[in-house]
């Protein structure tokens, strides 16, 4: 894949989201966009030790579109092995190094955003990925560890030197976690620092936010995260807005409910009905966000035990009947 050409044609990218961008939801998102779709984080150690659950995360179907497999870890040897294994078993078109995750259990092992504090290890890990991959390698990072160590431009230059094809920058520090606002200034500095494509990430919840990110920073593409959870239609709205086209109308209620059912069916196929129903308890309130009169149905979702009960809940909402009646 020529990433620069792909981003020019499809400038809206789906961010990696733990518990959200699994195989089922990637299939749904791919039906709305041909842009890059990131997987959940995949552990290099899990691949090195052939953990069954981790190996399962390598599986990418044709229906999932242009998938970026995101790896995390800080051991160059393990990362090189993970890259070889991923390339032999996955249809993902790109491998990505996670240098942005702020979660304690990741950073305490020098993974995720912690790599931004260890430039030499970051360089070695990147080199191992690039040398062992037969497809493009990218990097997703934050602006820095904290406000006293904002170094995304420097890390981006290292990534470019080691052969990365693109970088994505979340304009918050690790210490900010998901608080505060995205710093467009540091993303703009990264754009100026490298010759490879830069993807801007953070606080993109509307088509206007996406346009603002591009105009303020000069990035080639925008990465959208949590705003897509329960609203995959946002991909089409952003894409149309950026192209100067008329955005598609909001989905009709029937289309929204049909997509919820499809999501549940895809999850059931991949993980079994029991797991699918438990996970849909988190997804359904997102699909119902902002929908009139949906509050009691969202609450009742926690009592749902089967796909048949979910179907009845959706029918009750469509008819305006009280949940559980």
- Would you please indicate which residues are annotated as catalytic (active-site) residues? 101
CA-to-CA distance for 17 and 21, rounded, in angstroms?
Answer: 5
Listed in sequence order, the DSSP H helices in 244-294 are 253-271, 273-288
Token pair, residue 117, equals: 């504090």
Residue 44 near residue 128 (C-beta atoms within 8 A): no
Q: Which helix (H) or strand (E) holds 187?
A: helix 184-193
Q: Which of 37, 115, 41, 43 is nearest to 79 (CA)?
A: 43
Token pair, residue 320, equals: 């305006």
Phi and psi at 64, nearest 5°, equal: -85, -5
Alpha-carbon distances, residue 167 vs 152, 201, 236, 244 (angstroms): 10, 11, 23, 26
Exposure b/e, 220-246, CB count within 10 A at least 16 = b: bbbbbbebbbbbbbbbbbbbebbeeee
CA-to-CA distance for 95 and 13, rounded, in angstroms?
Answer: 14
CA-to-CA distance for 195 and 165, rounded, in angstroms?
Answer: 10
Q: Is 281 left (phi over 0), alpha (psi -120 to 50) or beta?
A: alpha
Map residue 198 onto helix, strand or coil: strand
Residue 126 near residue 162 (C-beta atoms within 8 A): yes
């Amino acid at each position: 894949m020529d990433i620069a050409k792909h981003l020019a044609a499809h400038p809206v990218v789906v961010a990696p989201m733990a518990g959200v961008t699994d195989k089922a939801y990637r299939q749904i998102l791919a039906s709305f966009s041909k842009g890059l779709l990131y997987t959940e984080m995949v552990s290099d150690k899990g691949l090195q030790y052939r953990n069954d659950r981790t190996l399962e995360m390598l599986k990418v179907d044709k229906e999932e579109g242009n998938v970026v497999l995101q790896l995390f870890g800080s051991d160059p040897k393990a990362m090189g092995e993970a890259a070889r294994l991923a390339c032999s078993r996955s249809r993902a078109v790109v491998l990505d190094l996670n240098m942005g995750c702020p979660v304690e259990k990741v950073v305490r092992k020098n993974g995720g955003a912690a790599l931004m504090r260890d430039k030499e290890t970051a360089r070695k890990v990147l080199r191992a990925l690039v040398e062992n991959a037969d497809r493009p390698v990218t990097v997703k990072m934050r602006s820095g560890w904290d406000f006293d160590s904002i170094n995304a431009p420097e890390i981006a230059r290292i990534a470019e030197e080691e052969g990365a094809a693109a970088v994505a920058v979340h304009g918050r520090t690790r210490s900010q976690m998901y608080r505060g606002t995205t710093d467009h200034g540091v993303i703009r500095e990264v754009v100026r620092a490298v010759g490879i494509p830069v993807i801007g990430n953070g606080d993109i919840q509307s088509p206007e936010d996406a346009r603002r990110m591009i105009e303020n920073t000069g990035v080639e593409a925008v990465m959208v995260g949590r705003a897509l959870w329960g609203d995959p239609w946002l991909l089409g709205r952003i894409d149309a807005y950026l192209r100067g086209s008329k955005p598609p109308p909001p989905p009709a209620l029937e289309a929204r409910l049909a997509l919820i059912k499809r999501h549940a069916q895809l999850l059931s196929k991949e993980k079994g009905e029991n797991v699918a129903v438990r996970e849909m308890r988190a997804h359904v309130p997102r699909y119902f966000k902002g929908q009139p009169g949906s509050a009691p149905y969202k609450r009742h979702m926690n009592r749902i035990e089967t796909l048949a009960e979910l179907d009845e809940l959706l029918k009750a909402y469509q008819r305006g009947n009280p949940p559980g009646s």
